[in-house]
Amino acid sequence: MLASVGVHTAEDSAAAPAVNRLVIRADQGKTTISRNIYGHFSEHLGRCVYEGYWVGEDSPIPNVRGIRQDVVAALKRSKTPVLRWPGGCFADEYHWKDGIGPREKRPAMVNTHWGGVVENNHFGTHEFMDLCEQIGCDAYISGNVGSGSVQEMMEWVEYLTSDASSPMANLRRQNGREKPWKVRYFGVGNESWGCGGNMTPEYYADQFRRYNTFVKNYGDSRLYRIACGASDFNYNWTEVLMARVGRRMDGLSVHYYTIPTGNWGRKGSATDFGEDLYHATLRRALEMETVVTKHGAIMDQHDPQKRIGMIVDEWGVWTDVEPGTNPGFLYQQNSLRDALVAAVTLNIFNQHADRVKMANIAQTINVLQAMILTDKEKMLLTPTYHVFEMYAVHHDATLLPTELQSADYSYGQDKIPAVTVSTSKDKSGRIHATFCNLNPNAVAEVNCALQGAQAGKISGRVLTAPTIQAHNTFESPQTVQPASFSDFKVQAGGFSVTLPAKSLVALEIE
């Protein structure tokens, strides 16, 4: 990193021009960035599933078989690759047989984790698989270890994926689905160290081995089996799972949330914050680098070939709920700050694409760091949605190695790099670079050396806004949205780009 250019105050960092250098090794890529890094997570929580996706067949809101179409269209447009469901904590109290058959006959339950509301089970297995088919994404199902049984999990997998004439496959046919679905990803428990059963890693490792034995591959179905992983910096959990489960799993999860204040009791507002909490939030988000590197190093010791994927299946900003809303519904607004958190985090995942094979931001609609907010028939796209749409260029592209020297963005005693980046080459040979300038007070000029390729034509898009708190509302849904961008110059050996303050910029280089 270059010497710090901002020192302690906003005024200082506004005055100091940032000097940043990037080298892109355009001829040295060998790792594919899995499109699943851009995955989502949707739980039976607040208004995510009900109202968010599910409005019912009789709703005046345009829907196909009860699933609202504005939401499906938006998620298709941003190329959603995979969707995790039904939880979260809810998954370990969900009994899938309550969510099949005629809707009026499905038993209701109380969602004890999230608001104590009645869950009528109208959105179940068939509705979820229909949703995935409508979006065109893969399904990632989270099975119940905490309060379920081996038999229940075994039967769910049979119901979903078997084409035999067997009890569960026949029950599926009776409920209107002749052919099995294509389910690729299956999670065995969620947060088993906490809401999923308060287990020790040793106990959970044995539970995984037992449950997984009965999670069968039917016909040509080959499930990618994901074991419940650690929270944050709990490296012992990863060590125990790698040692005791090892080759029996395909993926090991990890959860890391960004809490603006770092205090779960008072997390901070989604929109009412100053530069202190803006800086702190981004600093905490950048800790994802430590999480991925350190869990990855433990995985490397047991799995140097990197066969087992790191699956970051819950991440994102978690703030206090919007005033006046049900605290159990986790409804929060989404600002330019959230967009920058998403952008730096996705840059980190891209850079670690050799190990990170999937990530699922929490949660898609109306909950935590959402892509979409709804209010009855109205729907808006959040700043975070736009990041996912702009970054879709990296899906299944080849990661290009980079070296970045960034100036610092300082606030008080704390400093973080002002600039982050990731670059890839897509199948048609175009290079994509996604830059963030986290400094809200100064532009960042980046001199980019392009090795092994020539910059011919460059085009760009930018996401920024007049303030770090800017967000979209139902009255003003386009306050934060991408715009075209042209503040770059082709020069000998590469190009330079001037990133606006508090922005993310996506460049395409041909």
CB atoms within 10 A of CB 486: 10
3-state secondary structure of 76: helix
DSSP string of 431-472, one letter each residue: EEEEEEE--SSS-EEEEEEEESS----EEEEEE--SSTT-B-
- The two tokens of residue 147 are 């309060």
- Count CB-CB contacts under 10 A for residue 493: 12
Task: Name the residue among 502, 443, 440 with its Cα closest to residue 9.
Answer: 440
Find the residue with minimal CB distance to ligand AHR. 88
CB nearer to ligand AHR: give 321 or 468. 321
> In the complex with ligand AHR, which residue's Cβ is closer, 140 or 409?
140
Question: Cβ 361 to ligand AHR, closest distance in Å?
Answer: 10
Nearest-approach distance from CB 88 to ligand AHR, in angstroms:
3
Beta strands 224-231; 251-258: pairing state? parallel
Rank residues 155 and 314 by Cβ distance to ligand AHR and give the closer one: 314
Q: How far is the CB of 321 from ligand AHR (least distance, A)?
A: 12
CB-nearer residue toward ligand AHR: 55 or 361: 361
φ, ψ for residue 342, nearest 5 deg: -60, -45
Q: Which of 43, 158, 191, 445 is catalytic?
A: 191
In the bound state with ligand AHR, the residue whose beta carbon lies nearer, of 6 and 99, is 99
- Nearer to ligand AHR (CB atom), residue 196 or residue 440: 196
| Tokens at 280, concatenated | 């702190």
- Cα separation values, 401 from 32, 116, 184, 338, Å: 12, 48, 30, 26
- Note the maximum CA span of the chain: 73
Are 371 and 360 in contact by the 8 Å Cβ rule? The answer is: no
- Nearer Cβ to ligand AHR (153/361): 361
Q: How far is the CB of 44 from ligand AHR (least distance, A)?
A: 9
* Structural element, H or E, at residue 68: strand 67-68
Residue numbers at the binding site for ligand AHR (CB under 6 A): 43, 87-89, 190-191, 314, 362-363, 368
Instruction: With beta carbons less than 8 A apart as the criterion, state whether 337 and 273 touch.
Output: yes
Match 């991408």 to its residue by tokens.
482
Query: Closer to ligand AHR at the Cβ: 199 or 416?
Result: 199
Reduce the DSSP state of residue 419 to 3 states and report it: strand
Catalytic residue flag (residue 57): no
CA angle 437, 439, 443 (to 5 degrees): 70
Site of tokens 């934060």: 480
Residue 420 Cβ vs ligand AHR, minimum distance, rounded to whole Å: 25
Place of tokens 């040979």: 429
Residues 429 and 26: beta-carbon distance below 8 Å: no
Q: Where are the beta strands (DSSP E) in 109-250?
A: 109-111, 117-119, 138-143, 185-188, 224-231
Instruction: Report the nearest approach of ligand AHR to the CB of residue 24 (Å).
Output: 35
Residue 379 β-bridge partners:
374
Evaluate the CA torsion angle 169, 170, 176, 179 in order and state its sign.
positive
Q: What minimum distance in Å lies between the beta carbon of 263 and ligand AHR? A: 16
Q: Give least dist CB 332 to ligand AHR, A.
A: 12
The residue from 43, 119, 158, 314 that is catalytic is: 314
Distance of CA 361 to the CA centre of its chain: 2
Terminal alpha carbon distance of the chain: 29
Measured from the CB atom, is 90 or 495 closer to ligand AHR? 90
Is 51 part of the annotated catalytic residue set? no
- Residue 282 Cβ vs ligand AHR, minimum distance, rounded to whole Å: 21
Stated length of the chain:
510
Please identify every residue annotated as catalytic. Answer: 191, 314
